[in-house]
Amino acid sequence: MKKTIRDVNVKGKVVLIRVDFNVPMKNGVITDDNRIVQALPTIEYAISQHAKLVLFSHLGRVETEADKAKNSLAPVAKRLSELLKKPVLFVPETRGAALEAAIKAMKEQDIVMFENTRYEDVEGKKESKNNPELGAYWASLGNIFVNDAFGTAHRAHASNAGIAKNISTVVSGFLMEKEIKFIGEAVDNPTHPFVAILGGAKVSDKISVIENLLTKADKVLVCGAMAYTFFKAQGYEVGTSKCEADFVELAKTLLEKGKDKLVLPIDNVVAKAFDPEAPSKIAPTEHMPSDMMGLDIGPATIELFKKELKSAKTVVWNGPAGVFEFERFAVGTKAICTMLANLKGATTIIGGGDSAAAAIQLGFEEKFTHISTGGGASLEYLEGKALPGVTIIQDK
């Protein structure tokens, strides 16, 4: 068990909180504040315990001076202030006298937020290459480090591993605690039957996940474009579908290893073009037309998946079943959402990324036990990898 902010006395202390405020922005306006909302419980708890809060996050990719302008955290600080109904002092620096003075002047329950940690990447990738001097500097600004950014837990950066190395107390926030509990337990200690649903475009992204889950899950349901690489491995025609030729041999190995644990689509929605308005038809997996591409799972597959999920007690889902951005090819993804939303007595977890976006977009957010905030991090967790941003947190 990892220590959380509940396990330490933060009263009067400068508490450094690494949050994940990497929110989508358009012309300086936040288009989805879900990640800010998810961080509120930790922030509100620290305020209630009379801490002095110093918050920091990355936002977008920052590689040039021009990137800085469009990736400032100023709008995020403003939104956070509105949500907390409390002032948040934004310091548009990542280090230096102005930041140090602002922290020094803090009273209990004050909040200071400093600028995008990736600004440090413009000269020599100091943040994302975990520059030791930068990690030590940030650590020197506070007494306690709370890592609540699961979205970056799969990376050792100066703003997580670098600080942790140079500070005596490292604990998790409540969001990180939740991610460790749900995803960690689902993989290491699931209630059976345990079913994993893996979709998305590439087998190459999910090989290790499939390998790990075949040893732990009772069934692994494969959908999305990556299913076509498996069809090819079975010797079927895949037409103009997205297929990773380099991974066909590996898919064969996984099919042999998985046997009847690995469940593939039995029919597909196919069209002549990757187009939201393309006329489509249903084709069985064994008879895909050579001039068409698969863009979603078909009705027979939806029924098959329903059968496989019926008695499941733990379900982890990562990756959509089709091109869910196109309304007419979102049927499979919606069906999976609906099935899981109505699964009685089961722990249902979405491992971030596109499937999380789909569930939220389709209005199913409240119906899942847990929706992960980290795509890449949750994938690596499902692979059974140790995440640097989790291992740095002290054990109870």
Q: Which of 18, 35, 126, 232 is catalytic?
A: 35
DSSP string computed for 9-34: --TT-EEEEE------EETTEES--H
Confidence (pTM): 0.84
Q: Which of 224, 298, 322, 353 is catalytic?
A: 353
pLDDT attached to residue 234: 96
Block residue for tokens 């941003």? 389
Q: In this structure, what CATH number is given to the domain that contains residue 278?
A: 3.40.50.1260
pLDDT attached to residue 295: 97
pLDDT digits (tens, 9 = 90+) for 24-56: 988 889 988 989 999 999 999 999 999 999 999
186 and 163 housed in the same domain: no
253 and 279 housed in the same domain: yes
pLDDT digits (tens, 9 = 90+) for 111-169: 999 999 999 999 888 999 999 999 999 999 999 999 999 989 999 999 999 999 999 99
pLDDT digits (tens, 9 = 90+) for 248-289: 999 999 999 999 999 999 999 999 999 999 999 999 999 999
61 and 195 housed in the same domain: no
d(C-alpha 361, C-alpha 357), whole Å? 6
150 and 183 housed in the same domain: no
Residue 308 has pLDDT above 80, yes or no: yes
Q: Which of 202, 252, 261, 328 is catalytic?
A: 202
164 and 253 housed in the same domain: no
DSSP state of 2: B
Residue 353 has pLDDT above 80, yes or no: no
- Position 68 in a domain: yes
202 is catalytic: yes
Sign of CA dihedral 373, 156, 172, 206: positive
- Domain extent at residue 368: 179-382
376 is catalytic: yes
294 and 159 housed in the same domain: no
Q: Domain total for the chain?
A: 2
165 and 301 housed in the same domain: no
173 is catalytic: no
Q: Which of 60, 184, 376, 384 is catalytic?
A: 376
What does the mean pLDDT of the chain come to?
94
68 is catalytic: no
